[in-house]
A = this chain, B = another copy of it.
Amino acid sequence: MKTGAARVPTFAGEECDMSTWDAGKCPVRDVMDQIAGKWSTLLLQALADKPYRFGELRRLVPDISQRMLTQTLRDLQRDGYIDRKVFPTKPPSVEYSMTPLGLSLFEPLKRVLDWAEANHASVKAARVKFDESELA
């Protein structure tokens, strides 16, 4: 068998040729590669609550650099999850808010985040156990 068309059921139950899982061909990877960023879920979570301005988000997530905040927000905007409104105030202010698409994404995403919070202890325990066995 020479890399012969390995098939794995996709999430929707259909099949997907994983050997063609180049980020552009597989819908799931194409979408997930963006969501799976270090800051994406964090910003989506914040904006799911209410709209925020650039500076507010920067203060909200203390350890994000302005550079990555700018870039992540633009990527999320590009994929249609968030909306960017510029207000022509004295120093122009910019407000970011969720789009309907972003909110619909956040629905299932929130379940994963809920899981993370609920199972944090189990994960930490697994880590300790793993690190101990590695120590040997």
Also in contact, A42 and B21, with CB within 8 A (given A110-B11, A112-B109, A127-B79)? yes
Which chain B residue has the least Cβ–Cβ distance from A110? B11
Which one of B21, B28, B33 contacts A117 once the chains associate, using CB atoms below 8 Å? B28
Q: List 30 A-B contacts (CB under 8 A).
A: A6-B56, A8-B46, A10-B117, A11-B114, A12-B114, A19-B62, A21-B61, A27-B120, A28-B113, A30-B124, A31-B116, A31-B119, A31-B120, A32-B41, A32-B113, A36-B37, A36-B41, A78-B126, A78-B130, A79-B126, A80-B127, A80-B129, A80-B130, A101-B122, A101-B123, A105-B112, A105-B119, A108-B114, A108-B115, A111-B112
